[in-house]
Amino acid sequence: MNAIPKPHQLRPQITEQERAERQASIEFARGSVRLEGFVLSPAVEEINRRFIDGELTGDEHIAAIKAAVLHE
pLDDT at 69: 87
Q: How far apart are CA 14 and CA 11, in angstroms?
A: 9
pLDDT in tens, 13-66: 899 999 999 999 999 999 999 999 999 999 999 999 999 999 999 999 999 999
Give which of 53, 50, 5 is closest to 68, Cα–Cα: 50
Residue 1: band (very low, low, confident or very high) from pLDDT cuts 50, 70, 90: very low
Domains of the chain: 14-70 (1.10.8)
In the prediction, which pLDDT does 25 show? 97
pLDDT band, residue 8 (cuts 50/70/90): low
Q: State how far Cα 27 lies from the chain centre.
A: 11
